[in-house]
Structure 1
Amino acid sequence: MNTRTQQSLAGCPVAHHATPDAGRCPVDHKAAQFDPFQDAYMENPSEFVRWAREQKPVFYSPKLDYWVVTRYQAIKDIFRDPIAFSPSNVLEPVGQPSPEAASILKQYGYAMNRTLVNEDEPAHMARRRVLMEPFTPEHLRKHEPMVRRLVTEAIDGFIDDGRVDLMEKLLWDVPFSVALEFLGIEDDSDRATMHKFSIAHTINAFGRPTPEESANVAHTVGQFWQFSGEVLEKMKRTPDGPGWMRYSIRQQKEFPDVVTDSYLHSMMMAIIVAAHESTSFASANAIRLLLEHPESWADICKNPLLISPAVEECLRHNGSIGSWRRRATRDVEIEGVAIPAGARLLLVVSSANHDPRQFGDPDFFDIRRDNTVEHLTFGFGAHQCLGKNIGRMEMQIIIGELSRRLPHMRLAEQTYKYVHNLAFRGPRNLVVEWDPAQNPERNDASVLEATQEIRLGAPLAKHVVRDLQLAEVRQVADDIVLLRLVAPDGRPLPQWTPGAHVDIECGHTGLSRQYSLCGDLDDRNAWEVAVLRDPESRGGSSWLHQNATVGAELRVRGPRNHFRMDEAPTGRILLVAGGIGITPIMAMAQRARALNLDYEIHFSCRSRCTLPFANELEQAHGSRLHVHISDEGSRNDFDRLLATFDDSTQVYACGPTRMLAALEEAVSRRALPDSALHIEHFVNTVTILDPAKEQSFEVELRNSGLTLTVPNDATLLEVLHGSNIDVQSDCEEGLCGACEVGVLDGEVEHRDSVLTTAERRENNRLMACCSRAKGKKLVLDL
């Protein structure tokens, strides 16, 4: 044990007497008692460190000699900087191996070296680029029939039993078989021995074996090392065969300095475990979570398109990675805490995934959450999990087959058992029960023939649908109806923020339209939208006016918000609306009043009979409301209006294109700051893609270490998806804001109707579905 470790274990590593301004003490009673090697942590890491996430987001653990980080943004920033935060300690034993264990490993010639998860730059990205092609969605598709066959055969084996331990009969065996086939290993292995190998490797790399366990673990790990080497040598004799390992062997011939023998041996051992352990536990956690929320289980049984977003929310809410590790290569500061060079960091990913600063109402399990794909279960940046999409495929097929063939299964009474370690988390048992007489396939053979769509990548926002019921339809002005939407089973709906919109599917043609939410912000039982019948629309509003009747069901996506109001402004707030554009402005006004902000509403309409919500607005806002009715000779003079406001004013506007253009011109004449004006558009009038007029360009993905070419006949979004990069999307028309990506360098040709003029000038984000580079290259925060 080195001197620093000895000093650390004695208490706080900050020398307060020598450095009075070293920062607040990172150790208190709870930090001193922190011990993740127990069932309470394995069961729910997020709850276990809630106190830290809320009160002490970075603390030092004397028991581990690790600095523990618990909040989303800090962990994401650490992941995005592999230079300052080295992954070199990811597979490092937590404690110092005993001399006996070290001697045993030496006898087996154990020489575990660097792999894709614990290698520093630049070696890591050089190898990753050479070896990543089989992990792309295009290449993974060919494995889908094999995964379906394995899952079907496993379920066939217990479908009539009425009770089964899914971990024993499905969730360990199928991912293990998939891993072997993906790697190209002939499946003639002793399953019990391989399971023993995996557990030993997990305990050795991520656990804290007792002195009694360490010798046995060392023997098993040594045997695993030898087995991996034997398999590798066998593959080298048939390098043209299938599988990722043989692909790597072929790449070794072309890139011998990048793909070395030592690297291949270490990867063989590491990936046998990583390729199935995380998927096994993730599937178990997901099925347990879904069955604990029967309404969500019923939803995916009814609508298989929800399986992909449900998997993503399960990975966020109860993923298979509890924490990950890094080492600081220099003195750094995290959340105001000084961290010395050489310090080891424990990043509690499960805690980050429950951070309310990133995920609204984070403990609420919502399979339709709009930003769930931002979870950190797969990591982020250069070291993001390469196998994430094959894991997604397996989970979707497993859950899809179970929900189709055993929709009536339920959790049995049981005590869950865990392997205590810092990385992989999930139960070693998952017993479910059902009545075989109710198996759907006994009465309907077609159940066995159906398959659901598999999504290799982030869920499509258009699949994240809620079936809501119209509880009220009310005329609020000529050609404007207010729709009150509720969950048919009375479930509460997610909270939303002013400016948020939902997408409503209009019929069965795939047509969907965005409508701003305008109801009571505090009402969790219903959402309200107002719809104007527009004879020049593309059919959405007309369909709703014809079909929106009390009791009717509508398919709704969202809410999503790219028209947010600053709730801590330095000056006054000016809210400007035209016609139906009052809907998002109403919610902003409600929030401004609740926060006691200084605001005014200026509402323009053609005639009084087309003026919606007039009485409600006047009662709620009194003299702060100013109505301008054209037919009565009252028009909103924007130049005159803006003359009464100073440069600290924030202007929020929604309405017809002509009104918004006039407001933009007035703001420009008034020389208000670019950041003063925020606009919500109804339509996007910019041409999205015309291959004959486009030029190709390059995008450098700074965090992923990749450079891609976007050709003239493809969108940036399409290229990102094809390269295994997760970006959510929905409308793909530049209207909804779902595919927003950060820009670090290069000039953007914006083609969306989401960003304001000021936001475009900032040039720090774009909509990947439509925007392109003005020059030859963009650098993105991906």
Structure 2
Amino acid sequence: MARSENQTDNRSGDKSEAEDAAGKCPFSREAEEFDAFSDRYQSDPAEALRWSRDQKPVFFSPKLGYWVVSRYDDIKAVFRDNSIFSPRIALEKITPATPEAVEVLKTYGYAMNRTLVNEDEPAHMERRRVLMDHFFPENLEAKQEMVRRLTREKVDAFIDSGRVDLVEAMLYEVPLNVALHFLGVPEDDINVLRNFSVAHSVNTWGRPSDEKQLAVAHDVGQFWVYAGKIIERMKNEPEGTGWMHETIRKNAEMPDIVPDSYVHSMMMAIIVAAHETTSLASANMFKTLLSHRQAWEDICQDASLIPNAVEECLRYSGSIVAWRRQTTAKTRLGGVDLPEGAKLLIVQASGNQDERHFEDGDTFDIYRDNAVDHLTFGYGSHQCMGKNIGRMEMRVFLEEVSRRIPHLQLADQEFRYLPTTSFRGPDHVWVEWDPEKNPERQKPEIAGSEVHYPVGAPSRRDIARKVRVADVRWEAEGVLGLTLQDTRGRPLPDWSAGAHVELCVADYERKYSLCSRPGAEGYDLAILRDDGGRGGSKHIHETVRKGMEVKLRGPSNLFRLDETANSYLLIAGGIGITPIIAMADRLKALGKDYTIHYCGRSRGSMAHLVRLEQDHAGRLTVHAADENRRADLAGLVSALKQQGQIYVCGPERMISALEDLTVDLPEGILHFEHFSARDTGLDPEKEAGFDVELQDSGLSIKVAAYETLLDALHAKGIDVASDCREGLCGSCEVMVLEGDIDHRDKVMTRSERAGNRRMIACCSRSRNGGRIKLAL
């Protein structure tokens, strides 16, 4: 697997272009002209920042007065480090209040204080820790029945109308009622709360005119008073249920951790946060799916796709566009030096479409198997506590409507959005359909059926597209070549060099690198039969035939090619040629300097050899053992050109030898991927359980001998990405703060293991059952 350097370097430096930018010297014309309230940004923030992701991922915006962060890894790094990147300005008015508006707020006694969203450590985690229980997946399961009932009541009311605004008819009121029920707040006038929510959003993240500020100030002031009255009512209900009742009880039990000012401020903030984001996200979801008709039809035919479709909607068009942080010291982010006190607008909507993390990132794909990596919920200790409530509601909305009105279509309309930097969703989503075609008119039982989805992130087992085996051939002795195409003739997603897919045949699920020629239709795979393996390749060789339908996950890329190097040494051992040939094709297209060294038992056993000799003549050296032509790895490494990089895929002994030979070279020179896993499985009889402290979440969990760390984390609602679960891909890597780790993966370098700062959660464990501490 390819390794990349951390995007954040928290070392201060001398006077830099960052400080020049803070003095109103923009880096470029695009940076100088960037306006977060422009039509371009408001209509499509990810597309508006494409230039930034490609050219200047961290830049200063003079119009906004903020540093804008647009790439996935940089945004995640900011969320991860709350000590350097403080959340203190998350709820600060992005448009300063006029003196007149300030005076209006004073008349209402407005005194908004810190909440879980914008407070620093250690106060934040102390509070979050004592108020987290209601949000655990096991405690949310009981809420599904209520969400289903409220949703069904709304659908029943409009199912025969043929035309409706989904926002007005369901997507605003149901999330609000769910939020109020969860909080334990009395269900008051919906329209009053809607006005208050809009006012709060405009006041915090909008750009109201001076005249509008006065009206907004009155609404915000009234909201403050309203929240205070609710608190007083709830204090008289000591046995009340709901999260705010629990917060009030904690206020009485531990006023130093949950003070009075916090209760009032949190009441006002949570009423908005608990429903506004879900309402907007749901509106985005229906607009997106109904605009991508094939995806809509797929979920109508297969409801198991809905959980991942929700995640892809959150990634592609989430309701939280951007969040804010402020540096507490000089630091470095994305190769740019930032001064102390710099204000950051971290644009999750842009990071969510960053092709450096998401293959073909600006394409909507409900089969994307890493959609759950999206940053819409944030990341780290400030990740949205209510994420699983939102997921639950969106899944129920989508399942109920797609089952009962599969012929639903968007009506002709112009979508309008409330202009803010951070929240995004259409004011209305008008849809129409022919009630005579409602399936329940012929089969009434359809109206009462349902699909139950477990609370939490979706299961990867449900994320697979159907493909047809378009061609079967022999690539070499014992190597089967397959060409796969979509069963309905649709184009398969684009992919980048080093990417892989997971082929699902019967009960076998195996990962194979993509090795198609550039521009080829479908996906090409080359599969070596391994009779000493776990049976997957043998089964594929014996059963897969042309015309057969199978399933596929991906593509994903965890062995990504850095295209900025001066030269490249590509080394393949046996079937390890599959990602290497794709890299060679890409480097040739870029006009880069590269050489390929291909090692194998014999020429007859070496897949793609003819193609390599045709397409990469003059760059290729073949090392066939039966010709006594073995690769001189030491000589190849010593001849590596300055600022060159090495990419290798092959057997473990080859990679181990190259690690030895490059031990004195700078970090990041050697990139590798194993093509098989050995001894990474779990044997409960030989394992010991261990305790884990999660610093960012304020939780302590136990990992039993029969479960992996990854499974234990998921059980507590901690979203950790995962893919192979074999220690091969590295997607479930977590940061280690304390503890001795028994590293069992095939991903990390020797120096990384020795540093003991990271571990792969699907297979690695605490050594000898000792306690470990993680940055989660």
Please state which band the TM-score falls in when normalised by the shorter chain: 0.7 to 0.9
Deviations, residues 393-432 of structure 1 (Å, cap 9, x unaligned) = 1112212222222221111111222222232211110001
The answer to whether the Cα contact below 8 Å between 2:577 and 2:598 also exists between their aligned partners in 1 is: no
* Correspondence for 2:675: 681
CA displacement at 1:629 relative to structure 2? 6.1
Whether 1:437 aligns to 2:436 is yes
CA displacement at 1:179 relative to structure 2? 0.3
Distance in 1, matches of 2:583 and 2:20, equals 46
Structure 1 SS opposite 2:158: coil
CA displacement at 1:246 relative to structure 2? 1.4
Structure 2 vs 1, CA of residues 216 and 586 (structure 1 numbering), >3 Å: closer, same or farther?
Answer: closer
Amino acid of the residue matched to residue 319 of structure 1?
A: G
615, 619, 638: which one pairs with 2:614?
619
The answer to whether the Cα contact below 8 Å between 2:498 and 2:579 also exists between their aligned partners in 1 is: yes
Q: Which stretch shows the higher mean deviation, 402-411 or 673-682?
A: 673-682
716, 719, 722: which one pairs with 1:726?
719
The answer to whether the Cα contact below 8 Å between 1:252 and 1:259 also exists between their aligned partners in 2 is: yes
Q: Which stretch shows the higher mean deviation, 768-777 or 729-738?
A: 729-738
Whether 1:714 aligns to 2:714 is no
Deviations, residues 588-628 of structure 1 (Å, cap 9, x unaligned) = 443454454342333323683x5544433333344655556
Whether 1:404 aligns to 2:403 is yes
Structural mapping, 1:1-80, within 5 Å: 25-26=25-26, 34-37=34-37, 39-55=39-55, 57-80=57-80
Whether 1:694 aligns to 2:693 is no
Distance in 2, matches of 1:733 and 1:336, equals 33
* Correspondence for 1:513: 510
Amino acid of the residue matched to residue 709 of structure 2?
A: L
Distance in 1, matches of 2:603 and 2:183, equals 70
Whether 1:584 aligns to 2:576 is no
* Correspondence for 1:750: 743
Distance in 1, matches of 2:479 and 2:333, equals 52
Amino acid of the residue matched to residue 620 of structure 1?
A: D
Distance in 1, matches of 2:82 and 2:261, equals 22
Structural mapping, 1:240-319, within 5 Å: 240-319=239-318
CA displacement at 1:41 relative to structure 2? 3.4
* Correspondence for 1:3: none
Distance in 1, matches of 2:446 and 2:32, equals 55
Amino acid of the residue matched to residue 504 of structure 1?
A: L
Whether 1:549 aligns to 2:545 is yes
Amino acid of the residue matched to residue 519 of structure 1?
A: S
CA displacement at 1:75 relative to structure 2? 3.2
Distance in 1, matches of 2:333 and 2:161, equals 53
Structure 1 SS opposite 2:94: coil
The answer to whether the Cα contact below 8 Å between 2:723 and 2:732 also exists between their aligned partners in 1 is: yes
Structure 1 SS opposite 2:42: helix
CA displacement at 1:285 relative to structure 2? 0.9
Higher relative contact order, chain-length normalized (CA < 8 Å, sep 6+): 2
Structure 2 SS opposite 1:528: strand
Whether 1:183 aligns to 2:177 is no
Deviations, residues 510-562 of structure 1 (Å, cap 9, x unaligned) = x3122222221443x31111234444444433443344233322110122333
Structural mapping, 1:123-162, within 5 Å: 123-162=123-162
* Correspondence for 2:349: 350
CA displacement at 1:74 relative to structure 2? 3.7
CA displacement at 1:126 relative to structure 2? 1.0
646, 654, 661: which one pairs with 2:653?
661
The answer to whether the Cα contact below 8 Å between 2:649 and 2:655 also exists between their aligned partners in 1 is: no
* Correspondence for 1:387: 386
Whether 1:599 aligns to 2:598 is no
Distance in 2, matches of 1:532 and 1:20, equals 56
Structure 2 vs 1, CA of residues 53 and 515 (structure 1 numbering), >3 Å: closer, same or farther?
Answer: closer
Distance in 2, matches of 1:22 and 1:265, equals 36
Distance in 2, matches of 1:317 and 1:558, equals 16
Whether 1:368 aligns to 2:367 is yes
Q: Which stretch shows the higher mean deviation, 528-537 or 308-317?
A: 528-537
CA displacement at 1:487 relative to structure 2? 1.6
The answer to whether the Cα contact below 8 Å between 1:23 and 1:338 also exists between their aligned partners in 2 is: no
Structure 2 residue ranges without an equivalent (≥5):
1-14
* Correspondence for 2:474: 475
Q: Which stretch shows the higher mean deviation, 395-404 or 703-712?
A: 703-712
CA displacement at 1:760 relative to structure 2? 3.7
Deviations, residues 30-63 of structure 1 (Å, cap 9, x unaligned) = 6565543455433222333445555554555555
Alpha-carbon RMSD: 3.4
CA displacement at 1:758 relative to structure 2? 5.6
Structure 1 SS opposite 2:103: helix
Q: Which stretch shows the higher mean deviation, 592-601 or 358-367?
A: 592-601
555, 560, 575: which one pairs with 2:556?
560
Distance in 2, matches of 1:600 and 1:337, equals 35
Amino acid of the residue matched to residue 518 of structure 1?
A: C
The answer to whether the Cα contact below 8 Å between 1:324 and 1:348 also exists between their aligned partners in 2 is: yes
Amino acid of the residue matched to residue 595 of structure 2?
A: Y
The answer to whether the Cα contact below 8 Å between 1:285 and 1:314 also exists between their aligned partners in 2 is: yes
Distance in 2, matches of 1:535 and 1:22, equals 62
Distance in 2, matches of 1:41 and 1:722, equals 38
Distance in 2, matches of 1:259 and 1:666, equals 55
Structure 2 vs 1, CA of residues 565 and 684 (structure 1 numbering), >3 Å: closer, same or farther?
Answer: farther
TM-score w.r.t. the length of structure 2 is 0.88
Structure 2 vs 1, CA of residues 606 and 52 (structure 1 numbering), >3 Å: closer, same or farther?
Answer: closer
The answer to whether the Cα contact below 8 Å between 2:469 and 2:485 also exists between their aligned partners in 1 is: yes
Structure 2 SS opposite 1:407: coil
The answer to whether the Cα contact below 8 Å between 1:482 and 1:529 also exists between their aligned partners in 2 is: yes
Distance in 1, matches of 2:683 and 2:224, equals 53
Q: Which stretch shows the higher mean deviation, 687-696 or 410-419?
A: 687-696
CA displacement at 1:694 relative to structure 2? 1.3
Whether 1:634 aligns to 2:627 is yes
Distance in 2, matches of 1:256 and 1:670, equals 57
Structure 2 vs 1, CA of residues 667 and 329 (structure 1 numbering), >3 Å: closer, same or farther?
Answer: closer
Structure 2 vs 1, CA of residues 228 and 545 (structure 1 numbering), >3 Å: closer, same or farther?
Answer: same
Structure 2 SS opposite 1:307: helix
Amino acid of the residue matched to residue 514 of structure 1?
A: K
Structure 2 SS opposite 1:157: helix
Whether 1:447 aligns to 2:455 is no
Amino acid of the residue matched to residue 720 of structure 2?
A: V
Structure 2 SS opposite 1:554: strand
CA displacement at 1:664 relative to structure 2? 3.7
Distance in 2, matches of 1:671 and 1:326, equals 38
CA displacement at 1:769 relative to structure 2? 1.2
The answer to whether the Cα contact below 8 Å between 1:684 and 1:735 also exists between their aligned partners in 2 is: no
Distance in 1, matches of 2:423 and 2:663, equals 56
Structure 2 vs 1, CA of residues 319 and 666 (structure 1 numbering), >3 Å: closer, same or farther?
Answer: closer
CA displacement at 1:335 relative to structure 2? 5.1
Whether 1:573 aligns to 2:572 is no
Distance in 2, matches of 1:267 and 1:320, equals 21
CA displacement at 1:346 relative to structure 2? 2.9
CA displacement at 1:667 relative to structure 2? 7.0
Distance in 1, matches of 2:221 and 2:664, equals 70
TM-score w.r.t. the length of structure 1 is 0.87
* Correspondence for 2:494: 495
Distance in 2, matches of 1:516 and 1:198, equals 48
* Correspondence for 1:486: 485
Distance in 2, matches of 1:55 and 1:693, equals 48
The answer to whether the Cα contact below 8 Å between 1:417 and 1:429 also exists between their aligned partners in 2 is: yes
Deviations, residues 642-686 of structure 1 (Å, cap 9, x unaligned) = 45652749665555xxx6437746975998869757342323223
Distance in 1, matches of 2:568 and 2:201, equals 57
Distance in 2, matches of 1:134 and 1:194, equals 23
Structure 2 vs 1, CA of residues 199 and 765 (structure 1 numbering), >3 Å: closer, same or farther?
Answer: same
CA displacement at 1:200 relative to structure 2? 1.9
Deviations, residues 182-201 of structure 1 (Å, cap 9, x unaligned) = 101233x1111121221122
